[in-house]
Chains A and B, each alone.
Chain A
Amino acid sequence: MSCETALPNLEALKKDSAPERYLKIRLELEKQEVSLSEVQLRFFIVSGLKSLHGEVGAALNFDVLRHDEASNITVLKVPKEGLVKLWSSLTLLGSYMEQRCAFRVLQVSSNPPDS
């Protein structure tokens, strides 16, 4: 399965004055049959934020804009200040229900992704 990855220009992203950032991510699990619903995914991300950044992190206001259960690709919207917290907790989330998993970040931008 090929997926497009757009390497973000992080310097330009930091200087961009738009108040929101969009993260397109894909969850890879050991057993590919397992797929998460939107609610389960949201809970999973909040638990990761809580473990790395505590109550303040768990209170971060992020939105799940689009979620495709078949391919496990999700688009998240987060305020500019919360991007580092969210991205770092996604990186460090290692297991979902006793199976190993990884979040692959496909695209980061300050405009909503088209597809």
Chain B
Amino acid sequence: MVRVKSRYLLCEVNATDRNLLLQLDDRAVTAAVKDVVQRIHGDYGAALCSFGFSVKYLNAVTGIIFLRFPKRCYKLLWSALPFITSIEARGKKITCFLNCIYVGGTIRTCQKFLIRYNAHQLRRMLPKCKNEEERRDVQQAILDCCLTRNHTDESEDALESEEDE
């Protein structure tokens, strides 16, 4: 049947200064993407971006964002994302770059991928733990992911913020 199809890009915002990353909000990301698409693809790109583009999910702690694009022009708009060098949020300029890690057709597939990705990141963090307390926290979080998938996101987000401080 006829359905409006779109593509969801799962991107990671890599910032040089992680404390500034916490200032991120969805309006800043929307403005940054629209600005760079206008610069790279002109009026044509800006028109494609005006309807159908939105930021669906933003996690300031881990820097993960879901961008929604219409299916017919997502590749064109995707090609402009590497040109983002900074995002202006709440008066502060965050120097960063966007790394696209997954393209999904629905938010649910992106979410499933994100859960697996976060679990994978936790396992990578385990050998890098600096003290015993951190090591126990990470091990507990990994155990939680394996046993149940419900509370995975909150515990991982809390842990990653602890790691970074």
Q: Is the CB of B40 within 8 A of A52?
A: no
Does A113 have its Cβ within 8 Å of any Cβ on chain B?
no
Which of A8-16, A29-37, A54-62, A99-107 sits within the interface? A54-62
Interface residues on A, range: 10 to 19
Which residues does chain B contribute within 8 Å of A49, judged by CB atoms?
42
Give every chain A residue within 8 A of B45 (Cβ-Cβ): 53-54
| In the complex, per-residue mask of A60-92: 1 if CB is within 8 Å of any chain B CB, else 0 | 000000000000000000000000000010000
Assembled-state Cα–Cα distance A54/B40 (Å) = 5
What DSSP secondary structure best describes chain A's contact surface?
Answer: helix
Q: Does A42 contact B (CB under 8 A)?
A: no
Say yes or no for B43: interface residue by CB 8 A criterion: yes
Q: Is B75 an interface residue (CB 8 A)?
A: no
A111: chain B residues at CB < 8 Å are: none
Q: Which residues of A contact B (CB under 8 A)?
A: 49-57, 88
Known A52-B42, A53-B41; 10 more pairs at CB < 8 Å = A52-B43, A52-B44, A53-B42, A54-B37, A54-B41, A54-B44, A55-B40, A57-B41, A57-B42, A57-B44
